[in-house]
Amino acid sequence: MLEVNVTAPPVLEATGLRKTFRVGRKHLTALDGVDLRIGRGETVGLVGESGCGKSTLARVLLMLARPDDGTVRFGDVNPFALRGKELLAWRRRVQMVFQDPYASLNERMTAADIIGEPWRTHRDAAPADRRARVRELLELVGLRAGDADRYPGEFSGGQRQRIGIARALALNPDLIVCDEPVSALDLSVQAQVLNLLAELQRELGVSYLFISHDLSVVRHVADRVSVMYLGKVVEEGPTEEVFDRPVHPYTAALMSAAPTLTPDRGDPILLRGEIPSPLDPPSGCRFRTRCWKATDECATPPPVVARDSRHTGLCHHPL
């Protein structure tokens, strides 16, 4: 694994991201002051339940949605300040691998067309010999060069996901957003794809934002992890520390609720209720309506608690 130098300039740094959507007469705050930092060659895990804002965050980082407030910096450039050609040139630095390899590949295009499609938009990034580069990419992701002219229907789920990964690599991105990249795959195939992603990172030095609900997968792949709840990052830090010594009760509950192969632990933390509607989130700490430690104080905004300089949480009553 790559040693991540924390002082090295990050590939991406997002600060104070806010994004709201209008839903009828109400406002839905999908991101409420989110900070995220991803180093070169680093994997950051993003965990949280449905409605927590994971997908909106991914969309903002892919520059598919503009934040209402806050900044995103790639190196020293704020891509949202760019327009036209310059913006296009920045866009290629972040690519995406989608959850469902059946829905995300066009059945009527060959593997070569799919992998080469990004070059049709980003013309100046297209290699001189596209066929040769496609063959290279196919081999890089563990397929055969001879697969170039086959159609998605001729591949298995795991192979299709490899094509999706090759497409994401076509523009030599700095960062790949992996949105549940193995959860739609057969169980016995998931490990193959996780191994491939790790190999590619070692070879190419690419960074990953790894969105997943599977905590054992995140624990295995991520260097650092951010835990989101209702539009806020409630805890972040090095993966092992967050998993072993969580600051935030929500993180602890999430870990406790996730089933494991060795279930000989004590009484699990069973939360009451479900995640509240993001249209009407609780005041102060967003988690207080389900938290067993909540007091009146929690109706006010929670303070930042630092377990150490790299591991922080937002809580009035840290664990």
Task: Catalog residues that contact another protein under the rule CB under 8 A.
Answer: 1, 49-50, 156-159, 186-192, 194-195, 198-199, 213, 215-217, 219-221, 239-240, 253-254, 256-263, 268, 270-271, 274-275, 290
Tell the smallest beta-carbon distance from residue 120 to another protein (Å).
30
User: 99-124 burial by CB neighbour count: b if 16+ within 10 A, else e?
Assistant: bbbeebbeeeebbbebbbebbeeeee
Using CA atoms, how far apart are residues 44 and 56, in angstroms rounded to an integer? 16
Residue among 113 and 241 whose Cβ is closer to another protein: 241
Tell the smallest beta-carbon distance from residue 32 to another protein (Å).
19
Q: How many CB atoms lie within 10 A of CB 256?
A: 16
Tell the smallest beta-carbon distance from residue 191 to another protein (Å).
4
Residue among 41 and 118 whose Cβ is closer to another protein: 41
Residue among 257 and 279 whose Cβ is closer to another protein: 257
Using CA atoms, how far apart are residues 226 and 171, in angstroms rounded to an integer? 27
List CB contacts of 28: < 8 A, sequence separation 6 or more.
20, 21, 22, 278, 279
SS3 at position 125: helix
Tell the smallest beta-carbon distance from residue 56 to another protein (Å).
17
Using CA atoms, how far apart are residues 56 and 230, in angstroms rounded to an integer? 11
Tell the smallest beta-carbon distance from residue 189 to another protein (Å).
5
- What's the token pair of residue 45? 């895990």
Residue among 14 and 138 whose Cβ is closer to another protein: 138
Residue among 37 and 220 whose Cβ is closer to another protein: 220
